[in-house]
Amino acid sequence: EAEVAQSPRYKITEKSQAVAFWCDPISGHATLYWYRQILGQGPELLVQFQDESVVDDSQLPKDRFSAERLKGVDSTLKIQPAELGDSAMYLCASSPESYEQYFGPGTRLTVT
């Protein structure tokens, strides 16, 4: 069964450092999402791509976060500089033009 791949699974970084996460969606899925999930809360959308175009990045803190999906396939989410409050699970999801989204295993980020 096809799955969304994410790496790394875990990342520990010091504040003010740069960090990047990678996501490879299910083949053929045009829509890709990045979510942030803080402990005890539900996932919150950071950015949504349709192919290589950004559809919604209204909740992305653009002063320090950036996301790209250059060829409309895999995607990278970057944080620079990381802050203590960025510690969270970062989830990537993809969907085949439906409401149903398929999630990857996530990257657990700890900022020290």
Partner 1 sequence: DQQVKQNSPSLSVQEGRISILNCDYTNSMFDYFLWYKKYPAEGPTFLISISSIKDKNEDGRFTVFLNKSAKHLSLHIVPSQPGDSAVYFCAASFFGNEKLTFGTGTRLTIIP
Q: How far is the CB of 53 from partner 1 (least distance, A)?
A: 14
Q: How far is the CB of 21 from partner 1 (least distance, A)?
A: 13
Nearer to partner 1, 17 or 110 (CB): 110
Write the DSSP string, 41-54: S--EEEEEEETTEE
Q: Where does this chain bind partner 1 (CB under 8 A)?
A: 4, 6, 31, 40-45, 48, 56, 91, 93, 95, 97-106, 108
Which residue, 94, 30, 36, is CA-closest to 65?
36
C-alpha pair distances (Å), 64 with each of 2, 48, 61, 70: 32, 17, 6, 19
Distance, CA of 109 to CA of 11 (rounded, Å) = 5
Q: How far is the CB of 48 from partner 1 (least distance, A)?
A: 6
Nearer to partner 1, 3 or 14 (CB): 3
